[in-house]
């Protein structure tokens, strides 16, 4: 190979690596904690591994504690942001079992709305569909709609 071929191959390889890295980051919703998750989790494994393991907020908390025990390094603030990010952006939401505080974190609603969801569920029985959930007074339909793929009925 001549020098120009080696340069072109090297340049294209670098572009490919940057494109793959960018694609990985683009799969993560933009929100506080994204950068910390990618930084801390990528030290041990591909950050995209989180997409292969659908978990509830409680299960993510256990996973993060386990990662820290196994030596994953992050400052306390980074761990807090990662947990908040996972809760708000990726955690599965067992809407018929979740307590108000979990609903508040995972559906990203004010405490009063989370309480209203629990009260509605108590009064009307378990939610069977997204349409049932949208009937809760005070819940913005868009909030429920945005999380429809994460809701467990």
Domains and CATH numbers, the chain: 3-90 (no CATH), 93-152 (1.10.150.280)
Cβ contact 46:54 at 8 Å: no
**pLDDT tens digits, residue range 65-115?**
999 999 999 999 999 999 999 999 999 999 999 999 999 999 999 999 999
Other C-beta atoms closer than 10 Å to the C-beta of 116 total: 18
Q: Reduced to 3 states, what is the DSSP secondary structure of residue 40?
A: helix
Measured CA to CA, the distance from residue 31 to residue 36 in angstroms comes to 11
- Among residues 87, 130, 81, which one has the least CA distance to residue 109? 87
**pLDDT tens digits, residue range 40-58?**
999 999 999 999 989 999 9
Bridge partners (DSSP) of residue 77 are none
DSSP state of 113: H
Highest mean pLDDT among 6-10, 24-28, 82-86: 82-86
Question: pTM, whole model, 2 decimals?
Answer: 0.78
Does residue 8 or residue 143 have the better pLDDT?
Answer: 143
- As a whole number of Å, the end-to-end CA separation of the chain is 60
* Cα angle for residues 70, 22, 12 (degrees, 5° grid): 115
């Amino acid at each position: 190979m001549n020098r120009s071929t080696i340069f072109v191959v090297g340049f294209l390889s670098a572009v490919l690596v940057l494109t793959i890295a960018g694609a990985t980051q683009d799969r993560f919703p933009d929100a506080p904690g994204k950068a910390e998750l990618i930084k801390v989790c990528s030290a041990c494994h591909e950050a995209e591994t989180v997409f292969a393991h659908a978990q509830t907020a409680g299960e993510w908390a256990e996973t993060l504690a386990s990662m820290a025990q196994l030596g994953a390094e992050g400052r306390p603030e980074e761990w807090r942001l990662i947990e908040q990010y996972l809760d708000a952006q990726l955690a599965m939401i067992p809407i018929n079992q979740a307590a108000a505080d979990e609903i508040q974190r995972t559906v990203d609603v004010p405490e009063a709305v989370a309480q209203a969801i629990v009260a509605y569920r108590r009064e009307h029985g378990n939610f069977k569909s997204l349409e049932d959930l949208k009937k809760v007074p005070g819940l913005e339909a868009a909030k429920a709609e945005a999380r429809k793929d994460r809701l467990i009925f």
